[in-house]
Copies of this chain bind each other. A is one copy, B any other.
């Protein structure tokens, strides 16, 4: 059996079409466009590229983007001050602080300075706390794990009573993904670098989410036949045969796992496109919240 391939782009495109329509309606009705402020500290080339991609995608759907860059040696006060200024700016509906921040900065303090209703990345401790707790609703769910869940729904996965294994426990993917699955009534196991018998643990998963950042670590014999496999990994590996000399691969050995799994996301092309679509969706939602709060820019 060859697995159903779960592609992210068609789902992300559909989301973006809906967002484009909604932003146009907001502009027609309230005279403003939803706005996303990006805060980038330092010179990390990957971070610069991510922020550029996010800003380009904003433009595609009619979201204003406001780019703010601070030098790598920016003080805690400068970064928090900027975040607070954006928090008070009615033209800014969502604030995205690109992570990781330079090591001298207190990440939690910076994220906590984002007003809850503008926390479109969903990383404010209160949003994470609400995500963790039963009966609480975060205003915003972190984009990548939310995208992983959406793709599982899209592919027809059943969560209730399913055995789900999450490989990785990062704050931005593994942990929130596990929390989302627990609340959907899956039996959830969180694995990581210290897990013993990793292949055996993974093999019991009806739903397997890999988010560890190790190229093609998950092999065919780690996967239960028919399982749903979501590959969040994105790893650069040498590829002497290509012009660039490298290529991108996921955490899952796609070619062999697709022969065992029931459904699988490719990487690139799976969860990746969903992440920015989720950010745009959250920014639209933030604009709707601002309208509900009567905070409409002049």
- Residues of chain B within 8 A of A131, CB atoms compared: 132
B128 and A132: CB pair below 8 A? yes
- Residues of chain B within 8 A of A130, CB atoms compared: 108, 125, 129
By size class, the interface of chain A is 35 or more
A171 and B125: CB pair below 8 A? no
- Residues of chain B within 8 A of A194, CB atoms compared: 160-161, 185, 187
> Which residues of chain A in 87-137 are interfacial with respect to chain B, using CB atoms and an 8 Å cutoff?
108, 112, 124-136
Q: How many copies does the complex hold?
A: 2
- Residues of chain B within 8 A of A195, CB atoms compared: 161, 187
Q: Complex Cα distance A182/B124, Å? A: 20
B136 and A125: CB pair below 8 A? yes
Interface residues of A, dominant DSSP: mixed
> Any chain B CB within 8 A of the CB of A190?
yes
Binding site for B on A (CB under 8 A): 108, 112, 124-136, 160-161, 163, 169-171, 175, 178-179, 182, 185, 187-192, 194-196, 201
Give 28 pairs: A residue, B residue, CB < 8 Å, sorted on A: A108-B136, A112-B126, A124-B129, A125-B125, A125-B129, A127-B129, A128-B129, A128-B132, A128-B133, A131-B132, A133-B171, A133-B175, A134-B175, A135-B171, A160-B194, A161-B194, A161-B196, A163-B196, A175-B182, A178-B190, A182-B190, A182-B192, A185-B194, A187-B191, A187-B192, A187-B196, A188-B190, A189-B190
Other than the known A161-B195, A187-B189, what 17 A-B pairs have Cβ atoms closer than 8 Å?
Answer: A108-B136, A125-B125, A125-B126, A125-B130, A128-B129, A128-B132, A128-B133, A129-B129, A131-B132, A132-B132, A133-B175, A134-B170, A135-B171, A169-B182, A185-B192, A188-B189, A189-B189
